[in-house]
């Protein structure tokens, strides 16, 4: 390979990234060890020195690696030097655990420093009495903003929105808006867009800060606003919000209530978190492990995994019952027992491929009634084609292995049947579950594996009993 070629450059870059990631992991490990040792010895100065230059995401990562008691001790030792933004970077399980362990006085201070959506995440799982105690220690404005968030259900736009935004009247001039932003102390810390509203707080449009700053002071904002601003209903599902951000390349979007009144704003960083959370949720659900994380306790991890394992055990027993019906056939030809797993495993793998693509398409709203028939037809043809190709290979292997032409034909026919069934069930099962408002991610795998195992064994052993004996 030419060392100056594009492939070589990519290889070098990937190698450098791997080295950097490895070195970073070693640094984090050493840092966590040093913090733990300092906490154990009660060396407050060392702890402050070790964490002084850490950014919020880095300190959050270190906290996640610490033992449970050390996490609380670290935050208490840092006191006023602790950056409350760390709470918004923590794993959900760790954050909820800390909110239970830390005093409400500290949580009240954190709530006043965080954006509304992050503050809501911090205290949403607390007991109602603890939450009310925190509310009593914060300003009326902060409390009203938080209570507005809690009016909406989890996983909706209203729960991930920020209640802090900048809104002005359409007759305001650019100069007046700039002066307002300079003088007001109630504005959010960071924002990139100003919303233009009528007296009823209905959104008329929006103005990007970049355009505002390039416009003369005497120009009314109504002349430079974008009137076609996309709006999001507060009760809309956060997955749908993420899809709209992706579809329309949004950076921010106003959130309105059922009366079209402006109640908040969603920014792209909130949506990135939603996309990551939903992708992880789908991936874990496909594996039948729920929404567990590495920080969950043994009890919750077992509780998350056992139900699906029990269901899998039931489906495995069902497949074994099918095999039992052909025990006499297997006794007369041992080669069948050797080749059975091949048919079943190929069907399961093929079904998993189709199922993964289908579940992802459903999650992204790429599969609907408009194109379902075409996609089902395509997957059926793909399954048939894969079956024909693999039937030839498996027949050749069986003939070479056992020297039996009829046995080779049996496994070839069974392979075609099972891969065709795998393709059809791999797409139909998720679609049907989604049609009945059931989550296709966790349930599809069990149902499809059962279908391919049962059909695979039945087809292979049934054909064998007819053609070979």
Q: Taking a C-beta distance cutoff of 8 angstroms, is the pair 376, 364 a contact?
A: no
Burial of 422 (0-12, 13-18, 19+ CB in 10 A): buried
Which one of 126, 160, 194 terminates a domain? 160
Contacts of 400 (CB under 8 A, 6+ apart): none
Number of domains in the chain: 3
321 and 224 in a common domain: no
Indicate the DSSP class of residue 82.
S
Helix (H) or strand (E) holding 167: strand 167-168
Burial of 317 (0-12, 13-18, 19+ CB in 10 A): exposed
Q: What is the pLDDT of residues 329-348, one digit of tens each?
A: 877 788 888 888 888 888 88
Q: Which domain holds residue 396?
A: 298-467
138 and 24 in a common domain: yes
Which one of 140, 160, 180 terminates a domain? 160
Residue 281 lies in a domain: no
189 and 142 in a common domain: no
> Distance from first CA to last CA of the chain, Å, rounded?
57
Q: What is the pLDDT of residues 67-119, one digit of tens each?
A: 888 999 999 999 888 999 999 889 888 898 999 999 999 999 999 989 888 89
**Parts of the chain with a pLDDT under 50:** 1, 3, 5-22
156 and 237 in a common domain: no
pLDDT of residue 156: 92
350 and 306 in a common domain: yes
pLDDT of residue 16: 39
Residue 423 lies in a domain: yes
137 and 197 in a common domain: no
Place of tokens 């449009």: 205
Residue 286 lies in a domain: no
Instruction: Give CA torsion, residues 237, 240, 242, 243, to 10 deg.
Output: 180
Residue 355 lies in a domain: yes
List the structure tokens of 97.
């655990």
259 and 208 in a common domain: yes
Which one of 160, 192, 220 terminates a domain? 160
Domain with residue 85: its CATH number is 1.25.60.10
3-state secondary structure of 249: coil
Residue 291 lies in a domain: no
Considering only CA atoms, which of 397, 414, 416 is closest in space to residue 458?
414
Whether the model clears a pTM of 0.85, i.e. scores above it, the answer is no
Q: How many residues in the chain?
A: 469
227 and 120 in a common domain: no
pLDDT of residue 269: 86
Residue 3 lies in a domain: no
36 and 140 in a common domain: yes
Distance CA 63, CA 72 (A): 9
List the structure tokens of 22.
């490895």
Domain with residue 228: its CATH number is 3.10.580.10
Residue 125 lies in a domain: yes
82 and 215 in a common domain: no
180 and 127 in a common domain: no
Helix (H), strand (E), coil (C) string for 195-243: EEECCCCEEEEEEEHHHHHCCCCCCEHHHCCECCCCCEECCCEHHHHHH
188 and 138 in a common domain: no
Distance CA 149, CA 120 (A): 7
Distance CA 335, CA 341 (A): 11
CA 211 to chain centre: 35
Domain with residue 450: its CATH number is 1.10.357.20
Residue 216 lies in a domain: yes
pLDDT of residue 294: 60
């Amino acid at each position: 390979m030419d060392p100056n070629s594009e492939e070589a450059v990519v290889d070098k870059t990937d190698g450098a990234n791997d080295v950097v990631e490895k070195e970073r992991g070693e640094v984090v490990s050493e840092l966590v060890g040093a913090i733990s040792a300092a906490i154990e010895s009660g060396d407050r100065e060392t702890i402050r020195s070790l964490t002084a230059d850490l950014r919020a995401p880095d300190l959050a990562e270190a906290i996640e690696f610490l033992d449970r008691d050390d996490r609380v001790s670290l935050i208490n030792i840092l006191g006023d030097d602790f950056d409350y933004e760390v709470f918004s970077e923590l794993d959900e399980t760790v954050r909820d655990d800390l909110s239970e362990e830390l005093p409400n006085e500290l949580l009240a201070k954190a709530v006043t420093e965080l954006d509304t959506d992050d503050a809501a995440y911090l205290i949403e799982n607390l007991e109602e009495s603890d939450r009310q105690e925190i509310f009593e220690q914060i300003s009326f404005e902060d409390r009203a903003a938080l209570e507005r968030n809690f009016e909406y259900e989890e996983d909706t736009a209203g729960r991930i929105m920020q209640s802090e935004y900048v809104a002005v009247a359409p007759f305001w001039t650019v100069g007046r808006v700039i002066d307002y932003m300079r003088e007001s102390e109630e504005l959010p810390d960071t924002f990139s867009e100003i919303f233009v509203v009528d007296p009823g707080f209905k959104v008329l449009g929006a103005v990007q800060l970049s355009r505002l700053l390039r416009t003369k002071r005497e120009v009314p904002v109504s002349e430079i606003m974008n009137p076609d601003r996309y709006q999001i209903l507060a009760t809309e599902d956060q997955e749908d919000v993420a899809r709209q951000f992706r579809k329309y390349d949004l950076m921010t979007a106003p959130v309105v209530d059922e009366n079209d009144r402006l109640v908040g704003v969603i920014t792209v960083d909130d949506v990135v978190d939603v996309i990551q959370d939903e992708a992880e949720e789908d991936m874990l659900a496909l594996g039948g492990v729920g929404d567990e994380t590495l920080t969950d306790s043994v009890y919750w991890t077992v509780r998350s995994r056992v139900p699906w394992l029990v269901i899998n055990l039931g489906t495995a027993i069902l497949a074994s019952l099918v095999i039992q019906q052909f025990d006499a056939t297997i006794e007369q030809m041992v080669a069948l027992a050797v080749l059975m797993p091949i048919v079943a495993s190929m069907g399961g793998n093929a079904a998993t491929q189709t199922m993964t693509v289908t579940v992802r398409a459903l999650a992204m709203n790429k599969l609907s009634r408009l194109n379902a028939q075409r996609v089902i037809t395509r997957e059926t043809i793909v399954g048939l084609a894969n079956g024909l190709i693999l039937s030839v290979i498996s027949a050749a292997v069986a003939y070479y292995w056992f020297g039996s032409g009829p046995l080779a034909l049996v496994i070839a026919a069974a392979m075609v049947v099972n891969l065709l069934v795998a393709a059809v069930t791999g797409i139909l099962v998720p679609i049907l579950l989604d049609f009945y408002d059931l989550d296709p991610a966790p349930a599809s795998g069990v149902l499809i594996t059962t279908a391919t195992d049962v059909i695979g064994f039945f087809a292979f052993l049934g054909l064998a009993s007819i053609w070979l004996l």
